[in-house]
Amino acid sequence: MSVQRNDWSLQRKGIIDQERHKERVRDAIKKNLGSIVSNESIILSDGKKTVKVPMRSLDEYKFRYDHNKKKQVGQGEGNSKVGDVIAREGGQQGQGQGKGQAGNTGGQDFYETEVDIDEIAALIFEDLQLPYLKEKAKQEVPATTTKFTEIRRSGVMANLDKRRSILENIRRNARDVGAAKIGNFKKEDLRFKTWEEDIRHESNAVVIAMMDVSGSMGEFKKYIARSFYFWMVRFLKTKYDNVKIIFISHHTEAKEVNEEQFFTQGESGGTVVSSAYKLALEIIKERFPPKDWNVYPFHFSDGDNYYSDNDEAVRLADELIKTCNLFGYGEIGEEGASSYRRSSGALLSLYKDHLKNKERFIGVRIDDKEDVYPALKEFFGKRGEKV
Amino acid sequence: MADREVKALEEALEKIWEIALRNGLDPFPTRFEIVPATVMYEVGSYALPGRYSHWTFGKAYHRMKTMYDFGLSKIYEVVINTNPSYGFLLETNSLLQNKLVIAHVLGHVDFFKNNVYFSKTNRRMVDEVSAHAQRISEYEFQYGRKVVEQFLDAVLSIEEHIDPNFFIKKYEDESKTKGKNKSPKAGRYDDLFHLEQQAKNKLEAKDKDKNKDKAKKQKEKNPLLPEKDLLYFIMKNSPTLELWQRDIMSMIHQEMEYFVPQMQTKIMNEGWASFWHARIMRELDLSDDEHIEFANLHSSVVSPHKNQLNPYYLGYKIFEDIEKRWDNPTEEERRVFGRKGGEGRAKIFEVRELDNDISFLRNYLTRDLCEELDLFVYELQDDEWTVTEKKWEKVRDTLVGNMTNFGCPYIEVTDDDYNGNRELYLKHRFEGIELDLKYAHKVLEYVQQLWGRTVHLETINDSETTVLHFDGEEHKED
C-alpha cells in the first residue's frame, strides 16, 4: 500500500502512436486528394487554417448492430411517458450504455477530421514542380527595415541596450564588490545595439490569370477555375518570394479586374480569346519584363471561340509562349459530362494542332471537380512523363 | 498536488484501507501513483500500460486528451487489475478528489479479486502485454511496420469475437495432450508451430479424398463446429497465415481474454466501487468543506445524464437496493423466500462474487427500481428517437438483451470447408437486431484477408435471410 510519484517526463507512447494515427490521416488525405483539392470548404476557407474533411478510411470496422434498428434503454427525470421524443436523428441522442459500446457513432457514417490546409498543400505539392524555372536577375529590394544584429561596447547613447547594460553592471558588481546589485554604473558596463540595413533579394513570379466570362461560363466552370487558381497561387508562393497575380476577364473584350470581380462577375456575350492574350502581352511588356519575372499565363475557357478569331488566338498564344515560362490552357466542360462532345473547332484541339511552340504549352480538359487535381499535376508535373 | 498534500493522502490511504478491511472488502495490495494528465490519458487509452503500438490507440489518446484540454471530460481514476494492483491518480485532482478515488479504486480491486468471472484472469498481465509489445515490435522490424499494422487492422476487427469460457477449452486441450504425447513444456499455443504442416497435410488428404469419393457428396463436417471464437478458430485453421501472424493473433486473443471479464461486469464493477466510495467516505473524518465537496463530487459521479443511463448510477442503486431488501425484507419475502432480515451485507458480498452484468440485472433490477429511476425503452421512429415502452419487464429485458455477448453481435463459424473449397462460412445468430451492413462488408474483407479464401456471412436484413460473400475482389449478396 503506497502513494508514489515518479518522473514520467520521458513517457511518450501515446504521442508516438498519435503520430501513427496522424500518418494514417495523411495517407487517407493522399488517397482522397482528388476530391479534397476541389472541396468547397478549402477553396472558400477565407484564410482559415484548418478545415474539416471527411475521412472514410479511418473507421475501426467491427461487426456491429445497425444503430437505427436497435432498441435502447434510457433514463428520464421521473416523468417520462410513452411517445416522448428524446432526440432527433442527426443530433446527439441519448446513449444507453455510456462509453465505448458499439453504436456510439451511429448515424454518422464516416469519420470527419480536422486538417491543416498547409498540411494538405504540402501533400499536393509533394509531386509538383515548376517547369522551366529560369534564373532571373534577382531584384534587389530597397531596405525598408533595419535590423539590430549586434551588440557593441561603444555607440550612440540613443541605441543603448538598457537590459544588457544593467546585466553587465550586476555582473561587474558581483565580481568586484561581491554583491549582485545594480548601481555605480561605469562606462565599461554600457552596451549598444548596432544595426544593419536589410537588403533582400527576391525572385518574382507573375501569374496572368485569364478567364472567359462569356455567356456560356456558368457557376460550375468558374468554381473549377477558382479552385485551380487557389492551388496554383499557393504553390507558386512556395517557390517564389513574390508572386503577383493579374486577373484578366474577357468576353469579346478583355479587361483587367480585381480578384473579387474575377470570380464573381456575371457572364454575358460572346468570346474573342485573342483580346485577352493581347492585353496580357501588353501588361507583360509594360510591367513584368521577362528578364526579371517568371511569367505564368493561364487561361480558362469553355473553348467556344469566334471562328474568325481562331487564327489570331493561335498566333498570339505563340507570342505569349515566347515570353513566358509556361502557358497553360484549361478547357472546362459541362458538369459531369466526361465524354468529348465538342467539335474539333474547340480551342484545345486547335492549340494542339497548330501551335508552333508546343513544348511550353499545356492544355487540359476538366469536366469534373475531381479533374482539378490531375490538371494541377499535368501543369506542374514532371516534364517528359505522362500523367 | 503539493508534497504536503501527498503526505496527507498517504495518511488518508491508511485510514481508507483500514475502513475497507473492517467492512469486509478484500482487495489486492494496491500501489497508487500520482501522474500528470498526459500519462493518465495514455494509460486510459491503452487500458493497460505498455501495450503494443497501433494507430487506434493513438486515435483514442488524441481524442481523450483533446476532450480534457477543452475541459469536456475528465478521467478521475484508472485502475489496473493485477496483483499487486495499480491505481493512477490525477496530479491536478484536489486532495479530497483523490481520497474519493482511492476509496473507489479499492472497491474495484476487491471486485477484481473476488468476482468469479475474474478467477482465471492473468494477474501479471502488465508483464505479459509488454512482452507482446516487444514481440510485435520485433515483427515490425522484420516484416515492416506497414505490413504488421495492416495485419493488426484485420485482427482487431474481430477481436471481440472470442469465447469468454475459453479457459475450459484450454484445459481440455491440455489434458488431452498430457495423455497423448509427453512433449516437454506444452505451452498453450505450442501446437501453433506444427500448424502449417498440419494444414498442408490436411489439404493434401482432402485432395485425395475428393478424388476417391466424388460420388459421396455429403461431406463430413468439422466436429468442432460451430465455433464462436472466430479469433481462435482462424488462428488455428487459416490455410494461409504465416507463423508470425498466428503468433500475433494468439497475443491479441490473450489480451482479450484478460479484458472480457471487465466487459462482462461493467455495471456491477462501477456500481460496487461507487457503493464503497460512498460508504468509506462517510466513515472518514472529513472537514465541513470536504463534506460539501464530497457530496458534490459523489452526486456528479452517480447522477443520471439527460436521458442516458449512467452505469455507475444504475449499479450503485441496485447494490443499495439489494442491501435494503435483505436487511428489511417484506412480509411476503420473509414468508416466500424465508429471508430473515439483517442479511444485507452478506447478500451484496455474495452478489459481487457470483454475478455478472446480465445475471445482476435480470435478478435484481426490480419493478420499484425501474420506476424510481424512470427507465424506458426508446427507438427510432421516422426521424425521432421516441420512448416506446415503459413496462418494467420490457425495460429489463431490453437492457439484458443489449448486454448479451457484451453488446457485440453473436457470430460463429459454421463451416470451414464450404463449397468443398475450404471457404469460411460465418453465421450471425440473429437475436432481433440487424447488422450494420456497411460495416459487415468491411469486416468481411478483413476476415477474407485472414482466411485467404472466400468468406461468407449469413445474417438477416430487412427481415430476410441474407448471405454476404467476399472473394477478395468483389462483394456479392443473395
SS (H, E, C) B203-219: HHHHHHHHHHCCCCCCC
| Cβ-based contacts of A70 with chain B (< 8 Å) | 379, 402, 433
Instruction: Look at A88-102, B63-77, B395-409 and tell me which has the smallest mean pLDDT.
Output: A88-102
User: Under an 8 A CB cutoff, do B311 and A98 touch?
Assistant: yes
Q: Is A98 on the interface with B (CB under 8 A)?
A: yes
Check residue A141 and give its pLDDT: 54
Residue contact B390–A81, C-beta within 8 A: yes
Please give the C-alpha separations between residue B137 and each of A18, A258, B52, B144, B361, in angstroms, as whole numbers: 17, 57, 8, 10, 42
Find the residue in B nearest to A68 (Cα). Answer: B380
Is B400 in contact with B358 (CB distance < 8 Å)? yes
Coil, helix or strand at residue B469: strand
Q: What is the CA radius of gyration of chain B?
A: 25
The mean pLDDT value for A24-47 works out to 73
Quick one: pLDDT at residue A85? 85
Contact criterion met (CB < 8 Å) for B387 and A19:
no
A66 neighbourhood in chain B, CB within 8 Å: 433-437
Chain A residues with beta carbon closer than 8 angstroms to that of B130: none
Hey, are the CB atoms on B310 and A98 less than 8 Å from each other?
A: yes
Q: How do residues A208-266 score in pLDDT, each as one tens digit?
A: 888 888 777 777 787 888 888 888 877 877 777 677 888 898 888 888 888 778 877 77
Asked whether the predicted pLDDT for residue A337 surpasses 60, the reply is no
- Sequence ranges of the domains in chain A: 146-197, 202-380
Q: How far apart are CA B175 and CA B177, in angstroms?
A: 6
Average pLDDT over residues A11-23: 84
Q: Tell me the pLDDT tens digit for each residue of B74-114.
A: 788 899 999 999 999 998 888 999 999 999 999 999 999 99
Q: Quick check: bond before B29 cis, omega within 30?
A: no
Assigned architecture for domain A202-380? 3-Layer(aba) Sandwich (3.40)
Which of B33, B430, B436 to mutate to test binding with chain A, by most A CBs within 10 Å of its CB?
B436
Contacts of A82 in chain B (CB under 8 A): 376, 387-390
pLDDT classification of A92: cutoffs 50, 70, 90: very low
SS3 B274: helix
- To the nearest whole number, what is the mean pLDDT of chain A? 76
C-alpha distance from residue B260 to each of A234, A323, B265 (Å) = 52, 72, 9
The stretch A147-171 carries a mean pLDDT of 87
Question: Considering only A55-59, A377-381, B29-33, B397-401, which range has the smallest mean pLDDT?
Answer: A55-59
Contacts of B361 (CB under 8 A, 6+ apart): B267, B318, B396, B399, B400, B403
What value does the mean pLDDT take over residues A38-60? Answer: 68
A386/A91: higher pLDDT: A91
Distance from CA of B149 to the nearest CA of A (A): 10
Please tell me the distance in Å from A56's CA to the nearest CA on chain B.
12
| Chain B partners within 8 Å of A94 (Cβ) | 305-308, 378, 385
**Which of the residues B30, B31, B53, B59 would you substitute to probe the A interface, choosing the one with the greatest number of A C-beta atoms within 10 Å?**
B59
Flag if A66 and B388 touch (Cβ within 8 Å): no
In angstroms, the separation between the Cα of residue A29 and the nearest Cα of chain B is 16
| Distance separating alpha carbons of residues B16 and B109, to the nearest angstrom | 14
Minimum CA–CA partner of A4 in chain B:
B33
Highest mean pLDDT range out of A3-17, B126-140, B168-182?
B126-140
* Domain ranges across chain B: 3-110, 116-173+202-242+409-478, 311-405
Phi-psi map region of A167: left, alpha, beta (phi>0 left; psi -120 to 50 alpha):
alpha
> What are φ and ψ of residue A246, in 5° steps?
-110, 130
A interface mutation test: which of B13, B70, B378, B463 has the most A CBs within 10 A?
B378
Which range, of A115-124, A289-298, B431-440, averages the lowest pLDDT? A115-124
CB pairs under 8 A between A and B: 235
Q: Is 60 exceeded by the pLDDT of residue B347?
A: yes
Q: What is the DSSP string of A131-156?
A: TT---PPPEEEPP--EEEEEEESS--
Confidence category of residue B22, pLDDT binned at 50, 70, 90: very high
Q: What is the amino acid identity at position B336?
A: V
Name which of A60, A83, A102 is nearest B387 (Cβ-Cβ): A83
CB pair distance less than 8 Å for A5 and B33: yes
pLDDT at residue number B215: 42
Closest to A142 in 3D by CA, of A195, A202, A193: A202
How much is the average pLDDT of A56-75? Answer: 82
Please report the ipTM that was assigned to this predicted complex.
Answer: 0.83
